[in-house]
Amino acid sequence: MISSRPFRVPPTIHFGEQATARTGEEVKRLGARKALLVTDAVLAKVGAIDPIVDSLKNHGVDVVVFDEVNCEPVLRHVNEGLALLEEKQCDVLVACGGGSPIDAAKAIGIMATNQGQIKDYMGLDKFKTAGVPVIAVPTTAGTGSEATMFSIITDTDNDVKMLIGSPLLMPKVAIVDPLMTLKLPRGLTAATGLDALTHAIEAYVSLKAQPMTDVLAISAIKLISTYLPLAWGSPDNREARANTMLGALQAGIAFSNASVALVHGMSRPIGANFHIAHGVSNAVLLGIIMDFSLSGNPGRYADIARAMGVGNGGQDAMGVAKAGAEKVKGLIKMLEVPSLTALGVTREKLEPVVKKMAEDALASGSPGNNPRQATAEEIVNLYYAAL
């Protein structure tokens, strides 16, 4: 029997080349007049936000730019963005960038109408009031944040990456334009693409998976495993960029409704303690955790392998699942993702914090969705294996 589960997506999604031209019209449709554009300084400097600014101005929308989100968002970004939103009396947020500006914009918008600080809302479903509406325009094919009800903000006082989730955080509009990814560096293309692949894989094997998310997760796995290597190897390949971005969007919708699992639970403490980008943290863990998790649901992992073009009728489910895990590890290696050691995380640096990292991973709740449950001791061993 299939139990009843909600399935949530942004009310409006524009996908395709030149979709950014729709930004101004969507702001006007929401009844807004003044936008706070949340982005990072590099995107502002290279002109990546120009099509969005032009679209807003062409529709008579005033624009205030907040370009301080140059790293994964922290409490300061939320507080400073909120102060600017209130000072300039903006009535809509437009987020342009990777997951960081989008997550920051979600947090800014929701805190405009709720009391206290964002860290008071760590966890799920704690907001009472809908926030200032957010329009999300991703510049990477990876995080899926444009289509999720989650925001990840780092509490720098306690070195904790806070997972904050609520249907009220869902963007009102997602504008997904593959042209926005054409200038993405190869390393970032790899990291964000593997982040999206992790979303799709974990959504499919999650204990909270449902029929609607299964369809999107398998489609995303097919698209990303096929087109990410092409987008990485030939950055100007518009077909590869478009299909990778479509896969990332589908993966974002899938995990937002099915949740993530052990990889994400373990990756957040890596980012909080060692300041390694989220996508890279996921990538260095994905293959190792797949090996660990296969026995929990070999049939599902075999489906993933077949979606990647691996496996034949002569193998049992576990044999196909193992071949799929090897395919994923080969893809990670081909995309030149460094190990934790290469990223500066030595055994000596890991040892003093690894037990707390395991506790934080379990406390996030994500590992509870994994097909094979991990103890704190097993998580510690997995961190060491990732070195």
Helices and strands in the chain: count of H runs, count of E runs: 15, 9
Report the largest interatomic distance among the alpha carbons of the chain, rounded to a whole angstrom.
Answer: 66
Please state whether 381 falls in left (phi above 0), alpha (psi between -120 and 50) or beta: alpha
- pLDDT for the residue numbered 278: 86
CATH superfamily of 186-385: Dehydroquinate synthase-like - alpha domain (1.20.1090.10)
Query: Which residues of the chain are under the pLDDT cut of 70?
Result: 1-2, 313-314
Q: What is the pTM of this model?
A: 0.93
How buried is 13 (Cβ within 10 angstroms: 0-12 exposed, 13-18 middle, 19+ buried)?
Answer: middle
Domain 12-181: assigned CATH number: 3.40.50.1970
205 neighbors 261 (Cβ within 8 angstroms): yes
Report yes or no: 372 and 293 within 8 Å, Cβ to Cβ.
yes
Residue 1: what pLDDT? 61
- pLDDT, one tens digit per residue, over 198-226 is 999 999 999 999 999 999 999 999 999 99
pLDDT digits (tens, 9 = 90+) for 6-56: 999 999 999 999 999 999 999 999 999 999 999 999 999 999 999 999 999
Domain positions in the chain are 12-181, 186-385
pLDDT at 160 (0 to 100): 80
